[in-house]
Each structure stands twice: as structure tokens, then as C-alpha cells.
Amino acid sequence: MKISKNKKYFVMILFVVFCLCAHALIWRYGVPAEYRAHINAYAARNNLEPSLIKAMIKIESKFNPDAVSRRGARGLMQIMPATAREIAENFNIENYNVEMLFDPEINIMFGAYYIRMLLNMFDGNLNMALAAYNAGMGNVEQWKYKNPMVEFEPSEIPFKETRGYVRKVQNAYKFYKGARKLKRLITPKKP
């Protein structure tokens, strides 16, 4: 069977476009290898999907362990110092100091614990837990009291920043879940 030159060029162009898109997605959403073990370990410990932790880190800090927000949140999962102090007390960590939030393992451990706590508090509702992670539990409780629809629809969240945050994390979460499924499909099984 002979393939015309036009079809060859078309296939080559499609292949190049596919490779460029794949490269862009990996560059944009790739997870640095040094964080994978911590993400998997603390996701498992807190009965979370690693994809959720990856998505949160991507949106919170773009995988920058030295990130500091305008409000003072620190590290990969952008944890506020006051929240971290409470978590450190729960874990009986002696000599805790705020600089420890720049340690990727501690930051991921605290962030995974905190999002699990929020998921438990909001009966597994991911929208509410993410909103509380971003805007605080008190704000989310008020929103829920004033408008019960806020539980089901991120567009009902009154803070623009939090509304955007929930949507971005949800989209990244879907991407990482899809990438994980795809990896399982294309990775050969070990005998």
C-alpha cells in the first residue's frame, strides 16, 4: 500500500502537534519527582487521592516549596502559620517553627491532614472543603448558612478569589486523575 506525500506530511504534522501538546501538558502539570513519595504517602495516610494533593499544590504554589503568599501562607500547599501551629500541636511536634513549612515533607503532611479534616467537617463535600482551605472555615460556614446552594455550586461562592480557586483545583484534579488513568492504561503490567 502506497501512502501519498500529502498524507505523510499530514501524519508528521499531527505527530509534531501531539508531541508539542504532550510536552506542554507535562511542563504545565508535571509533578517533580522529589515530591511524589511524600504526596503518595500522606495521601494514603489521610485516605485521599494523590491527584487531589497534586492539584492543590499545583494551584497553591506551582510546586515551589519556598512560596509565600501576600497573606503569609507558606510552602507547597500554602499553609497559614496559625493553622500549621495547631496541626503541629495535634502531631505533638516539639520545637515547631514556621520555617518548617518550607520543608516539602512537613508541608505536604500538614496540608493533607488539613484537607482531610475539612472534608470530614463538610461531610466529604470537596467544593466546601476547598473553599474552606482557601477562605477559612468561618467564612464557609457563614456562606452555607446564608445560601445552602453554595455546597453544590461553586458559582454561589461569594468571594471571587475562592470561587476561582475551587474551580482551578477541581480542573487540575480532573487532569491529574485522567493522567493517572492513562498512565495505568499505557504502562505494561509486571509479571
Tell me the β-bridge partners of 79: 74
- Residue positions counted in the chain: 191
Burial track 76-97 (b if 16+ CB lie within 10 A, e otherwise): bbbbbeebbeebbeeeebeebe
Q: Quote the CA–CA distance of 139 and 117 in Å, as a whole number.
A: 16
Cell of 81: 502559620
- Of residues 34, 49, 60, 153, which has the active-site annotation? 60
Output the CA–CA distances (angstroms, integers) from residue 142 to 25, 128, 149, 185, in the order listed: 38, 12, 12, 44
Q: Quote the CA–CA distance of 137 and 127 in Å, as a whole number.
A: 12
Q: Quote the CA–CA distance of 80 and 101 in Å, as a whole number.
A: 9
Cell of 25: 501538558
> CA 43, 128, 36: angle at the middle one, nearest 5?
20
Active site residue 60: yes
Question: Catalytic residue numbers?
Answer: 60
